[in-house]
Structure 1
């Protein structure tokens, strides 16, 4: 039987190790990106890097801005990216007949306008921030609108097994003026404007944290993943080793019990005039030819075994001896139940 517990631990350890390597590699990459202290320096840096074929990865910081920001309907916050969702909350009958709360998405809407980062010295446009690592919108407003108490509507919903509670509306927004740090590819478009975008190959981060904080967090996660990987590896190897040792010991106990049964069968079948050694050899020879072991209880060696142990499934004892046991003689597992068997 395959030790699935140990195998699962080892596979999980391998996955965590790969995550740790990935986080550590990202931290090393962020350490080597070009830091732009002031956005007005970006033009000069691009000119110096124009001869290189590789994407020019930079880290810039500034505050979110836009020439045409969006005004949120419920909160009134001005932002450059706005997402609005509406969920219908209701009670419904489950299989047992009781009421359980559930929800269903009614509306999911997203808006975005051209936006940029501004640090007071210059500005740089940002493209494709939604696909960046670390990008998250803040909750601008969260409103719950209760459903109306119409008698007709309530009766129809009740007949369908529903009780409408109301609609929950959530606005998430990237507000103007919010400080951000962006790591990405810096390019200059045809009209001379600078923008930060996702590189074909390389890191792309959009986060309210500073670059040093991003590097520190990635380093911490990398170490945590590696420590967890080591722990799971040790535990998985322990489980596999324990399974192998238990299997070897079980086979040894099985051979010893079979030898006891063969000896007992030889003693029972030996003629009074013959020695026990010859009879035992005859029984053993016949057993080898038939490929079976006498059906004797391994404890008393007198009665035939007729009891199955739950949950290991071994059958090697009679019911009389089984009532005195707490663990299986073969595998040493705890006996939860003894089931008597019958033969035709």
Structure 2
């Protein structure tokens, strides 16, 4: 609502707009100054006149007083009630009841709608995560079985002649069996200290650790000479 045509009745925190009628208005132009010219040049607002205006409530306007109303020495007074502050309004009693009943219905159905949407979103997220967890549980034995088969295949791979002890130079023997060449590096420590078979045995432990740095092993990499 335009502030010029309404007055805000603010009593005990209540704000209600009441219409005003202009009874006196006079505009006095002001003299421009160099500062006014600079403000207009750079696009800023500047005053062009001084408005003297008086407004009152229109004659015969009916307003409703909400609160504890009584006469004190013939002068009407209003005080706040126990449940709400006192205020003035243009609405009648029936209009105020209808207005607040409509607002109550809007708030009630809006809260129900938002609550239902929230429950639906939470239910959808729960069902989706539950299905993902079941799929993960179903894939887990297959993945473990494939990993075990791969480990067995690697263990059954025949050792090349290059891994034999007669071809291993000094300082390149496996630190565990002391028979074959160092061929497998541990990740993330990067130590190349074990042969292929011993590295696989170490990796199959419950908590595999590097025999040198005692750091947890996340993967084993086979090293080939070019």
TM-score where L is the length of structure 2? 0.51
Task: Give the Å deviation of 1:164.
Answer: 1.9
CA contact (8 A) 2:39 2:45 kept: no
Report how far residue 270 of structure 1 moved: 1.0
Compute the RMSD of aligned alpha carbons. Answer: 4.7
> 2:20–2:58: 8 Å Cα contact kept in structure 1?
no
Evaluate the alpha carbon distance shift between residue 144 and residue 294 of structure 1 in structure 2; reply closer, same or farther with a 3 A threshold. Answer: farther
Shift in alpha-carbon separation, 1:246–1:174, aligned structure 2, 3 A: farther
**Could you report, residue by residue, the CA deviation over 1:275-305 in whole angstroms, capped at 9, with x for unpaired residues?**
xxxxxxx99x947545x9987xxxxxxxxxx
Q: Verify the 8 A CA contact 1:82 1:171 in the aligned structure 2.
A: no
Q: Which position in structure 2 is the counterpart of 1:269?
A: 151
Aligned to 1:246: 128
Q: Which gives a bigger RCO, structure 1 or 2 (Cα 8 Å, sep 6+)?
A: 1
Q: Distance in 1 between matches of 2:121 and 2:28?
A: 54
Query: Counterpart in 2 of 1:204?
Result: 86
CA distances 1:20-67 after superposition (whole Å, capped 9, x unpaired): xxxxxxxxxxxxxxxxxxxxxxxxxxxxxxxxxxxxxxxxxxxxxxxx
- Structure 2, unmatched stretches of 5+, are 157-199, 209-215, 220-226
Point out the structure with max Rg over C-alpha: 2
Question: What residue ranges of structure 1 are gaps of 5+ in the alignment?
Answer: 1-74, 84-128, 275-281, 296-344
Structure 1 position 257, deviation (Å): 3.9
Matched positions, count: 159
Partner residue in 2 for 1:130: 10
1:187 alignment counterpart:
70
Distance apart, 1:221 and its partner CA: 0.8
Q: Deviations over 1:217-254 (max 9, x none)?
A: 11111111111111111001111111222222232333
CA distance in 2, matches of 1:138, 1:218: 21
Q: Tell me the secondary structure at the aligned position of residue 235 of structure 1.
A: helix
Could you tell me which residue of structure 2 aligns to residue 237 of structure 1? 119
Counterpart pick for 1:215 among 93, 97, 114: 97
Higher strand proportion (structure 1 or 2): 1
Deviation (angstroms), 1:176 = 4.0
- The reply on whether 1:259 has 2:141 as its aligned counterpart is yes
Following superposition, the deviation at residue 171 of structure 1 comes to 7.4
> Hey, what's the Cα distance between the residues in 2 that align with 1:165 and 1:147?
14
Find the aligned partners of 2:27 and 2:140 in 1 and give their Cα distance.
Answer: 73
TM-score by length of 1: 0.35
CA contact (8 A) 1:139 1:171 kept: no
Aligned partners of 1:145 and 1:213: how far apart in 2?
A: 43
Q: Secondary structure at the match of 1:270?
A: helix
Counterpart-to-counterpart distance in 1, 2:7 and 2:154: 99
Aligned partner of residue 66 in structure 2, secondary structure: strand
